[in-house]
Amino acid sequence: MSKKILITGGAGFIAHHVIDKILSTTDWEVVTLDRLDFSGNLNRLNEVVSSYPKPERKRVRVIHHDLKAELNPEITATIGKVDYISHLAAGSHVDRSISYPLEFVMDNIVGTAHILDYARKLDGLERFAYFSTDEVFGPAPKGINYKENDRYNSTNPYSATKAGAEELVVAFENTYQLPCIITHTMNVFGERQNPEKYIPMVIKKVRDGGKVTVHANKDKTVAGSRHYIHAEDVAEALLFLYNYDITTIEPDDTGAKCQKFNIVGKNEIDNLQLAQFIADTQSKKLIYEMVDFHSQRPGHDLRYALDGSKMKKMGWEPQSAFDRLESTIDWTLKNDRWLSL
């Protein structure tokens, strides 16, 4: 019998790739809740879904709803019975969280509480997946890659609200036996990404001959670095986790009941190296400026890093970021309307 998955934030960047992967590899029905704002672009989802034959397109339904409000009986009736929930809806713009922290509390904590409260009342829910971020752990010193249950060290309101939401998820598993998992990932890129994000921004600036800003240490000698990962790899990892028997995983030494998983890119890439790769791929000269990230980007960290050994041991690994990046650059330049939204 076919499964049904409820995805929050389905018109968002990462979630629409998840829906694409579900349509191409499963027979599942998809229901998505989205408030269709700045980050939830329905054109993004429509472009993907419309590329499928009509029978596949009919497997996707979009319900307009802002999770700052509870799910009313009309919405829950429209959703119907679900087997899985992926909670990807979130405010994720770090700079905006610094300017409007209470907005992020409402979106990321209150919104998560509402979807959890809905989920705990369902019969037969197989798994609730909360999509979190590496930023809950804060900056990673050189040589340190954070494991799933390391301590939180939020450096901005965005990461603090994601950490708070993680604790709600854990509490709902402990209190209501809600079958939950939590994932951490970082610096996801791919097709149809918001043009303000680093990779599409660099693609556009290089194409147009503009100057690329690279955040660095105080001496402006070391560029910030990330483990970049393509959204399709993230989608594959989420489906891998849905099909994995979580009960076979031995608890770690923290004794935590709610399993957490780091979905990590294969390559750690510094942002100057990344910008140079984008320029080389376009056969363009890179014009750039290194800036002190402490003064130019408050609330941001020079290096983020996660340990992906748990997922690797389970049998999942991402593709090379460079292979994925080259195809993303090519696609974006051919579909450059996504650079001017």
Output phi, psi for 63, to 5 deg. -115, 125
Check 118, 146, 158, 244 and give the catalytic one.
Answer: 158
Q: How far apart are CA 260 and CA 170, in angstroms?
A: 10
DSSP SS3 for 213: strand
Other CB atoms within a 10 A radius of the CB of residue 135 amount to 26
- Give, as one character, the DSSP assignment of residue 150: P
Check 34, 135, 150, 191 and give the catalytic one.
Answer: 135
The tokens of 4 are what?
């049904």
Check 20, 34, 134, 232 and give the catalytic one.
Answer: 134
Q: Is 2 exposed, middle or buried, given 0-12, 13-18 or 19+ CB atoms closer than 10 A?
A: exposed
Q: Quick check: is 135 catalytic? A: yes
Q: Quick check: is 118 catalytic? A: no
Q: Return the half-sphere exposure (C-beta side, CA atoms, 13 A cut-off) of residue 123.
A: 1
Q: Quick check: is 134 catalytic? A: yes
Residues annotated as part of the active site: 134-135, 158
